[in-house]
Amino acid sequence: MKKILIVDDEQDIVESLKFVLEAADFTCYCAYNGEDGLRLAKEIIPDLIILDVMMPKINGYKISRLLKYDAKYKNIPILMVTARSQEEDKLIGEETGADEYITKPFELDEVVKKVEEYLK
């Protein structure tokens, strides 16, 4: 089973993502702040990361940059999720190497579809 890491300080959002992804036969790991997220990512080496931007301790941009510039982790696809929808934020997301940018509120089905696409 493919491993997915969900990093978001909004527990409710993590819960719902976990529910639909598990229903779609993925194994989910959850972290509720940037620090735990980065540690877990290096520990379990997931097949895909769903990453929130605005988080305590280490923000999503930084995590993305740290992973994407490291040969060991750079092939892990990252889906950035955020409530910020300004164009410049999207640009920053792309620059940090994130593979996809999803803005809140999002459709759960859409996220599942995206995840399946990346892990085909």
Partner 1 sequence: MTRILFISDNSQKVDYFNSVFKKNSYDFSSLSDEKLIYEIISAEMPDIIIIDSSFNNIKLINKKIKSVNENSIIIFLTNPNKIEKEIVKYANAFITEDMSEDLILSTISVNLRMKNALEMLSNSNKDLADSLYRLNALYDTSSRFSGTLDKAKLIQFMIEGMDKALSFSLTCTLSLCTEATPVLILDSLYELSDELIEALKLRTVLNYNSINKEEKPEDKQLDITTLKVIKHVKYPASRFTFNLFQYDNMFAPISLGENLFGCVEIFKETSFTAEDSTCFQTIAQQVALPLKSATLYQELIETNQKLEKLERLKSEFISIVSHELRTPLTSIKNSLDILMSGKCIELNSNAEKFLSMAMRNVQRLSGIINDLLDLSKIEAGKMDFHFAPTNINTVIGYVKSALSEVAKTKGLKLTTKESDNLPDITADSQRLEQVLTNLVSNAIKFTPEDKEITISSSLVNSKDIQINEYFKDSIILKNTDYIMVCVKDEGIGIEGKDLLHAFDKFAQIENSLSRKAGGTGLGLPIAKQLLEAHQGAIWCDSELHKGSKFYFVIPVSTNLN
Of 68 and 84, which CB lies nearer to partner 1 in the complex structure?
Answer: 84
Of 19 and 69, which CB lies nearer to partner 1 in the complex structure?
Answer: 19
Least separation in angstroms between residue 74's CB and partner 1 is: 29
Q: Buried b vs exposed e over 44-72: b needs ≥16 C-beta within 10 Å?
A: eebbbbbbbbebeebbbbebbbbbbeeee
Which positions lie near partner 1, rule CB under 8 A?
Answer: 10, 12-13, 16-17, 19-20, 23, 54, 83-87, 104-109
Of 32 and 106, which CB lies nearer to partner 1 in the complex structure?
Answer: 106
